[in-house]
Amino acid sequence: MTEAATTDLAPAKGNPTRPIVIAANRLPVMRDDETETGWSPSPGGLVRALLPMLRDSGGTWVGWTGEADDAPAPFTIDGIDVHPVEISTEEIELYYEGFSNDGLWPLYHDALRESTFDAHQWDAYHRVNERFAITLANIAPPDAIVWVHDYQLQLVPAMLRRQRPDVTIAFFLHIPFPPVELFSRLPWRDQIIEGLLGCDLVGFQRPIGAANFTACAHQLLDAKVDDDVITHAGHDSVVGHFPISIDFAEVEEMAAGRATRKLTSQFRTRLGDPEVILLGVDRLDYTKGIGLRLRAFAALLESGELDAERCVMVQVATPTREAVEHYQDERHEIERLVGEINGRYSRIGLPVVHYLYQTLSYDDLIALYRAGDVMLVTPFRDGMNLVAKEYAAAHIDGDGVLVLSEFAGAADELTDAVLVNPHDDRALQEAIITAVEMHRGERRTRMGALRDQVRRMDVQGWADRFLAAMESVSERA
């Protein structure tokens, strides 16, 4: 189990004592014609984690609405000051789909796919980061804490520091930070490290991310490293790890509701009341290992170790980054596999793989988690993986088995899952069999431990620990 951070921090605080400004690629709200305000909350854990804190402290959020050339004037919603940053159609292609999702994303995930490194895309990335930095510099109150999120905005900290040395700047990376051998491929590697070293605090999901970043700063920029403090160009940045989590109480409450129970049993009936439901829930991303688990399932049906009359697999894949070619290829491969497996092993009216290329509502998702006897979370590489934590929180019956890749950040904490190396085909098949055949007593012991862990380290705790660290570094400055 990991510590919350490597730094010696002040105790967690419920709310920031100084004004807080969040910067993230996306705003916490998205356009919605159906609501009175014209906006509804954006989906996702980050918004759910930070909204209560911002509401209480009257914070500010800088980000993109998600639509091209959309620049509404700043507004206040739910007590939060929202400052939209405009992104053009061309910039979506170059900064977002290009540099961020076709350059950095594969590089930061073990170079699982070839990265595109293109100077036009880099220019757009630089330009959009500058726009964020200027907006932040103009609106951050004196003495503010500015908290920048994720790989799309890594240049913002140094750009902001040049304009506003008075504010405390922190950054959290939601995805892995790669080892120096991979990171060094990036033609703009020095600029990215310099960008992040504009921070007072740089946070990662896992200790390895913090260690990789520190090694890059030392080897590429000759920065001085003293324990968890990196000094470069006369400025100190503290580095730490802060594993993100979910709202355990919310998921548990939803899972316990009567509507969810009803939906769970409807799902089981519609699936033909199988003995075992194997479940996968992911964005349709090549990092998530969806094809791999389909192939493992097929191999087990072929060898007779799993019986198609007793088991079904449900795979829900959220559409994502559809304009990027690697994602189109991945989708075709998954859909080809689903077709092949169903063609071979299904019976009339009873497909053996149920595949949805859809975004489900949170209610449906929680009911599906409850219905899943074995949850397959098998990424090749993942910053954390919240699905693994949601599955444990939803299993209020204390039953169910989680098969979890060692390469997900969640594996540091969720050591009572059936941990597996997804690159090892046979090991994955054996992990699935272990999960399917596990005795009830062991299932309950493991699930109890998983649930305790997620309950103890929930998303509020994550936000509190990060905030305490920010306040602590700003006091040292």
Active site residues per annotation:
174, 382
Of the residues 175, 314, 418, 467, which one makes contact with ligand ADQ according to CB under 6 A? 175
Question: Does residue 2 touch ligand ADQ according to CB under 6 A?
Answer: no
Of 174, 189, 268, 295, the residue at the interface with ligand ADQ (CB under 6 A) is: 174
Cα–Cα dist 290/283, whole Å: 10
385 binds ligand ADQ (CB under 6 A): yes
User: How many other β-carbons are positioned within 10 Å of the β-carbon of residue 89?
Assistant: 10
- Determine if 342 is a binding residue for ligand ADQ (CB under 6 A): no
Interface residue with ligand ADQ among 24, 167, 387, 393 (CB under 6 A) is 387
Half-sphere exposure of 348 (CA within 13 A, CB side): 0
CB of 390 to ligand ADQ, least distance (A): 5
Footprint on residues 389-418 left by ligand ADQ (CB under 6 A): 390
220-244: burial string, b at 16+ Cβ within 10 Å, e else: bbebeeeebebebeebbbbbbbbbb
Shortest distance in whole angstroms from residue 318 CB to ligand ADQ: 4
CA distance 105 to 326: 11
Distance separating alpha carbons of residues 184 and 167, to the nearest angstrom: 30
What minimum distance in Å lies between the beta carbon of 110 and ligand ADQ?
13
Contact between 365 and ligand ADQ by CB under 6 A: the answer reads: yes
**Residue 362 in contact with residue 281, Cβ under 8 Å?**
no
Using the contact rule CB under 6 A, the part of the chain among 23-31, 132-140, 265-273, 377-385 near ligand ADQ is 377-385
Does position 383 bind ligand ADQ by CB under 6 A? yes
- Binding-site size, ligand ADQ (CB under 6 A): 19
Cβ closest to ligand ADQ, residue 19 vs residue 422: 422
202 counts as binding ligand ADQ under rule CB under 6 A: no
Position 45 contacts ligand ADQ (CB under 6 A)? yes
Least CB distance to ligand ADQ at residue 209 (A): 11
Beta carbons within 8 Å of 265's beta carbon, 6+ residues apart = none
373 and 276 in contact (C-beta within 8 Å)?
yes
Name the minimum Å distance from CB 439 to ligand ADQ: 29
417 backbone dihedrals φ, ψ, rounded to 5°: -75, 170
Does residue number 218 form part of the binding site for ligand ADQ (CB under 6 A)?
Answer: no
Structural Rg of the chain based on CA atoms: 22
When binding is defined by CB under 6 A, the residue of 40, 116, 231, 359 that contacts ligand ADQ is: 359
Of 14-22, 112-120, 259-267, 358-366, which part binds ligand ADQ (CB under 6 A)? 358-366
Using rule CB under 6 A, residue 163 touches ligand ADQ: no
Q: Specify the residue, 97 or 194, whose C-beta has the smaller distance to ligand ADQ.
A: 97
Does position 252 bind ligand ADQ by CB under 6 A? no
CB atoms within 10 A of CB 416: 20
Q: Which of residues 303-322 bind ligand ADQ (CB under 6 A)?
A: 316, 318
State the DSSP code for 6.
S
- The window from 73-81, 162-170, 306-314, 385-393 that contacts ligand ADQ (CB under 6 A) reads 385-393
Q: Is 382 in the site for ligand ADQ (CB under 6 A)?
A: yes
231 binds ligand ADQ (CB under 6 A): no
Q: Which of 360, 396, 427, 438 binds ligand ADQ (CB under 6 A)?
A: 360
Residue 235 near residue 197 (C-beta atoms within 8 A) = yes
The residues pairing with 76 across neighbouring beta strands, listed in sequence order, are 81
What is 124-182 written as a DSSP string?
Answer: HHHHHHHHHHHHHHHHPPTT-EEEEESGGGTTHHHHHHHH-TTSEEEEE-SS----HHH
Residue 334 contacts residue 290 (beta carbons within 8 Å)? yes
Q: Which is nearer to ligand ADQ, 102 or 382 (CB)?
A: 382
Instruction: In angstroms, give the least distance from the CB of 470 to ligand ADQ.
Output: 17
Q: Give the pairing type, strands 235-241 and 229-232.
A: antiparallel
Strands 276-283 and 374-377: parallel
Stretch that binds ligand ADQ, among 209-217, 278-286, 335-343, 444-452 (CB under 6 A): 278-286
Among 144, 155, 158, 281, binds ligand ADQ (CB under 6 A): 281
Which of 23, 128, 238, 244: binder of ligand ADQ (CB under 6 A)? 244
Residues sharing a CB contact under 8 Å with residue 425, sequence separation 6 or more, in sequence order: 292, 295, 296, 299
β-bridge pairing 39-41 and 29-31 = antiparallel
CB of 361 to ligand ADQ, least distance (A): 7
Alpha-helix runs per DSSP H in 310-424: 325-345, 362-371, 386-394
Does position 116 interact with ligand ADQ (CB under 6 A)? The reply is: no
Q: Under the rule (CB under 6 A), what is the footprint of ligand ADQ?
A: 45, 174-175, 244, 281-283, 316, 318, 359-360, 365, 382-387, 390
